[in-house]
Amino acid sequence: RGVASPAQPRVARLSSRRATAVAPAVAPTRARRARSNTVEVSAVAEGKPWKPSDCRLVLEDGSVWPGMAFGAKGTVLGEVVFNTSLTGYQEILTDPSYAGQFVLFTCPEIGNVGINLEDMESTKAHMGGMLVRHLSLNVSNYRSAMDLSTYLEQQNVIGISEIDTRAITRRLRDTGCLNGVITTDASKTDDELVEMCKNWTIVGKDMISEVSSKETYEWKETTGAEWEWAQDAKDSVENSYNVVCYDFGIKHNIMRRLASFGCKLTVVPANTPASEVLAMNPDGILFSNGPGDPSAVPYAVKNAEEILGVVPVFGICMGHQVLGQAFGGETFKLKFGHHGGNHPVRGPTGRVEISSQNHNFAVLPDSLPKEVQISHINLNDGTCAGMVYEEKMAMTIQYHPEASPGPHDSDPCFEDFVKMMKANKAKKGASA
């Protein structure tokens, strides 16, 4: 029996076998190679049948990741971090805490709900660059006002898609955060871009001065009635507590939650002297979230030192790190940081919260005075996620209680701050 060549299509071999079975006395003939109208692709199309890469991510370790650009065009430097959240890319995009960073999303599909006008965490996008596996081809959400690429173009933020986000995530976990460059400029060589990465760093840079408000303003918006769940917030009386918020890059939803608990909020620039803040006669002071290295903002630490013990204070994220230094402690840089909406945190009662986190630095517990209680622990790596300094009427957390990934696990932090202010007001009233 004749044996078909391995290069021949399967249909040709079957035809040969059938012919042999019907007429075994006839010598088999070599089957002719089947022709196809679509085989000679180069004869049909002059170029590649797909769009070529038009953007590159280059990391300081020399690796180059070609991809597809969306949003703005140009060249930008930043620190590459990965975020494990499955939802909330718009809140992440507009969170001032991501200033100076490229965010790589481990969720493979981004952009499917577009951009709406209600879920912004600030007035603009602060993220340095957006790294995704696949940019959704379709937008499907009744609140969507535009697609993600259009919004990034408006905000002058570069995005890159069709890159191996899983491989880059593993690289960041092994080596730690890496500086990177995203560029749509084909004239720049890979070596030039690597050199740019090596000559840039976010460590030691004062990033909060870049995102902080320049003027003092009041905030009045509360959480919408359809979203409110806390009974204490529903029962609160408007303007019961005068709270001054240091704007290190404050998120809108933090202010909504405080306003929902009856706080009258005055937001001040990050460099406002403590004397001016105390002259506003606050019942409490919030040190907000913000980007960058906490050791690079000594003026914020100095203000915190002058305020401690005068009125109750609450620190969130960057505010936690600033207050940690004001307590007498030190901060250090984490290997690849905490970025995502699935971080377990154990509180003082043993209750575990699922928290939203975004920081690359942490407070060193052993550097703190013995009077400071480590109230919350990150269960992923054992780092300090919250502190209480009762003598100084201070409480802090190293995550975002307003982000609601649990969804409401962390909201009691706001209640605790209000209770601290209420107790202090009662104490002052009794001594008057």
Assigned token pair, 318: 């960057």
Cβ contact 129:118 at 8 Å? no
Assigned token pair, 213: 């408000």
Residue 274 φ then ψ, to 5°: -60, -35
Separation CA 35–CA 43 (nearest Å): 14
Separation CA 327–CA 331 (nearest Å): 12
**Running DSSP on this structure, what letter comes out for residue 280?**
T
Question: From the centroid of its chain, how far is CA 130?
Answer: 10
Q: Which amino acid belongs to residue 50? A: W
SS3 43: helix
Is the peptide bond prior to 273 cis by the omega test (within 30 degrees of 0)? no
Helix (H) or strand (E) holding 399: none
**Active-site positions?**
317, 400, 402
The two beta strands, 64-71 and 55-59, are antiparallel
Measured CA to CA in angstroms, residue 95 lies from 62, 205, 262 at distances of 29, 18, 24
